[in-house]
Structure 1
Amino acid sequence: MTSSSFLSATVSSAFEMGLTARSIYRVDDAADVRITVRRGSVWITLDNDPVDVVLSVGEQFSTSQHRRALVSALEPSCISVAPTVEHTVRKAAPQRSPNLRLSHFQPA
C-alpha cells in the first residue's frame, strides 16, 4: 500500500470525502464519531476488536470505544464523517425567569 492511499484525521466537525477503491481512511480516536456511507461500500475495523463491519449506502457506524478505526473502501465510495449528535450538543442555557418579558426592557 502506498502512503497516498492512506488518509488520517481527527474529527471535530462534519465533512464528506471520496475514497478510491482499496484506499483507507484512519480515525485515530473513533469514540463519538459517526461514519455514514453516501456511495459505495466500506469495511470498518477497530484496533483489537475481533468484529469488523461492512457498510453500504445509507448505513452508519459509531462507537463509544476510544480505539483507532480503519475505514477501507471496497469500491469507489463517499463517506460522511461527523461527531455523533451527543458529542456536538452544547449545554443548554440556564432557564430564564418566566416573569421577564421584552416589555420590561423599554428604553428610559
Structure 2
Amino acid sequence: MNAFHAPATLTLPPRALHTLHDAQGTQITCNEGCLWVTLDHDPRDIVLEAGQSFTVPDARRTLVYALKASRLALQAPRPAPSAKAGGRLFHRTLAAAIAQVMGPGAQAMKATLEGPGR
C-alpha cells in the first residue's frame, strides 16, 4: 500500500511519467490538464480530463502519463480499523444496549462486558 494517506498533489509537465507501485485503492484525480493512466497487464487505456477520477482496482504498477501539463491528486484509501478496536466498539455498544433494556440492574453486566480499561 502507498505510504501517503492525505491527498498528495503533483504537477507534471507535458510528457512526464509518474509511477505508482502497489496502488490498490488509490484514487487518481485530474485537477488540470489531461492524463493517460495505464495498469500493468490491463488492456484498458484510461484518459482523465480535468475533474475526472479513477480508482486503481488492484495491487499492480500504475503509470500516469501527462498528455499535456497537468495537476493531479492522489488519495490512498484510509486504513481499515483494527479488529481489536472494532471488538471494543462492539462490546461497548452491546453493554449500552443491555443497560438500556434491563435498566439499572444491568450495571454489573455492563461492567463485565466493558472490562477493565474499555
TM (norm. structure 2) is 0.66
2:113 is matched with none
Structure 1 residue 52, shift from structure 2 partner: 1.0
Counterpart AA for 2:75: A
Gaps of 5+ in 1: 1-9, 100-108
Distance 1:57 1:89 in 2: 30
- Paired residues in the alignment total 90
2:89 is matched with 94
Higher helix share: 2
Partner SS, residue 40 of structure 1: strand
2:11 is matched with 18
Structure 1 residue 25, shift from structure 2 partner: 0.6
Q: CA RMSD in A?
A: 2.2
1:32-83 alpha-carbon deviations (Å, 9 max, x no partner): 1110011111000001111110000111111222110000001110000011
Of the three residues 23, 34, 43, the one matched with 1:41 is 34
Distance 1:68 1:51 in 2: 14
Gaps of 5+ in 2: 100-118
Q: 1:41 to 1:53 in 2, by over 3 A?
A: same
Distance 1:39 1:12 in 2: 21
Whether 1:65 and 2:58 are equivalent positions in the alignment is: yes
Counterpart AA for 1:78: R
% identity of equivalent residues: 30
User: Rg: which structure is higher?
Assistant: 2
